[in-house]
Structure 1
Amino acid sequence: MKHFQPSYFALLLFLGFLAPGLAQSPDQSFPQIPPSVLAPALEESSDAGDPMASRLFRTTSTRPQIQLGGFWDFVTDPQGKGESARYFASFPTPETRMWVPGTWNSYARYWHYEGPAWLRRKFEVPAEGRLRLRFAGVFYLAKVWVDGKFIGEHEGGYTPFSFVLDRVTKGEHEVVVLVDNRLTDESLPKKGVDWFPYGGIYRSVYAELVPGLFIDNFHVTAVPSDGRTTLQIKAFLRNPSGQERRERIAFEVNRKVLYTETHSLTGTAPEVSFSVVLDNARLWSPESPFLYSARLSLQDNRDDQFTRFSVRSFTLDGYRVLLNGKPFKLAGANHHDDHPDWGSALPPHIIRQDIE
């Protein structure tokens, strides 16, 4: 039985109305992707046939993805000698195998361990091409190598990050990650505060084959006014070659195309912004938590991304908060990722139990 020692945290107040995705009725026709290509977490869900029907919906229909969850080789490095000893090129004998997503502090043997630790996993790439490696969360410092080559590092335990490898051959490859969960005077949170530093790759990690120009992310901001809603879209693209490109960009809401335009793009990280009008928009509220499904696509490079958004307005009238122009009583909720078996790496079924 694993040992659990309660830790005390600063209270984080999350407003329930800012997370409408927890309870909503999505457009069930948008878009259909076979469960066989979805992440394992989706395959366990009754909504697996529709990537938009779950809070864990798949965000693309075009990119072959390689899920890297599961058991990774694991070894601690309390003396900090792993880089000079080239663990990234010649991994030492593992102490154990660590489940990812997961934290080593949820294992009794490593409950109190703070410091560097190394994780390794091998994976198969189905075809030659450009590979994007994405981590949804690693606490706290991370350095990453693929096939012994350093590809990048990231600081911050609560933000996702990714790296792009230009030419990856078909076949077996190896990824090695150095993780350090020690807090410092410059870290967030800082050392000395009442915060338990669960270490590890505690959120999902996957690799995907991407085209020469692809969508990194995009945001939709809905601005309702007098029965007319303006959608402000901002797209963040990746163009590893840096070469100038002309690309047709399309934007859909619930399968209806609202925008198609050709853009000239320069640099390695071009951004595109535009606005469209959504007529007769359905407003979100706690009683009717409706979300729209959006798709942004690069038609020449055959890449796309999905997201969801709501249409609602929050305004202030003196000391009153108005939701869609009507007084709204605020109700707070607190949820902190801390579990006796999973640490901060709560799996979907545990989160669902808490919500239900």
Structure 2
Amino acid sequence: MKLKLSLLFSLLLPASAIFMFSAQANEPRLYIRSVFDIQYAFCDIKTNGVTGFSNRNSARANRGFGTSSTGSMLFMTNGENEISLEFGALGWFSQDKISDKARNHFNPEATCKLELTAMRGKNSEVLTAIELAIDKNDQPVAIAPTDEPKYTAVSTPVVRHVIQAENTEPGHIEKQYFDPKEFPPNMTLYRFSRNVKISGLPDWEWIKATPYTNTPEQRQQLQQAYMAVWQAYNAKDLNTLREQKKVALKAWAWSTGESEESIFTDQSVYRNIKTTSFKMIPINWDDYRVKIMNQGRMVRLVNKSDLRNSPISYYYVDEDGDTVLATVAPIFSLINGRFVQVI
């Protein structure tokens, strides 16, 4: 038996001014993506507090690389938005018995660069950026990109905070799947962020969400929403699953230029659900805690032993005959009194 994560979607894919985009019908559609390059470090790329990508698997393998882009516009609204990097040393993922001080030592070549890039047709422009490096004192610092004077005109200065990474605990996932170094205990992260104002984006459904505050009533309602999804998967009811995801599918179709149906059928779970070996894992609500994002307008439940796992988890047998544990990780918003999948 082996573990394989299968997330619902992959995102690989005070400011003094507003970067303006017109919305003429005859103009190509606006896309905004976070283009990043990571070298010799762990880096979590976030937009308004929502992770678009982290190179955790590469960091666990002591490589610490990652180059791609995320569909960050899905988490952005017209107005002020925050982009951020959470940067950590590879030593935290080491299996060696070393001190936390030694774990927090960076490779001197460690870097992480993020460029928030607007694209319309064949034209593209970097709106703002964050670029990190290691100084002579072994400290992560923000360095000024070449076009920093232009970025300063439309975004706030980069702010640095030292934070503790989220921790996990054993006992909420099968023992063979729990790795304490996947989310290292006591890990120090260096968070770099800046705000930028944007216009020209669609009014996503989550924008009008009621903020999630984790009241008992909200938590019960969120669990009911998860259970409805779980039951649809358990029944292999593709029509219900498609209906439950219609808000998310519409947003993804807009942001990628693909059709809603192609996005729906391109998910690995769409293929796995058709196998005779597909089996949903019963939910124990005590195994999950809430993760609130984007000023409370987005929320999901995460497994206390593996923060990438959700209550929508299942087994299937792959083409090699291995039993695989997979998970689907939707993001919900409370809209008009009910929880809706928005990502």
Q: Is the structural similarity TM-score above 0.5?
A: no
Identify the structure with the greater helix proportion: 2
Greater strand content: 1
Greater Rg by CA:
1
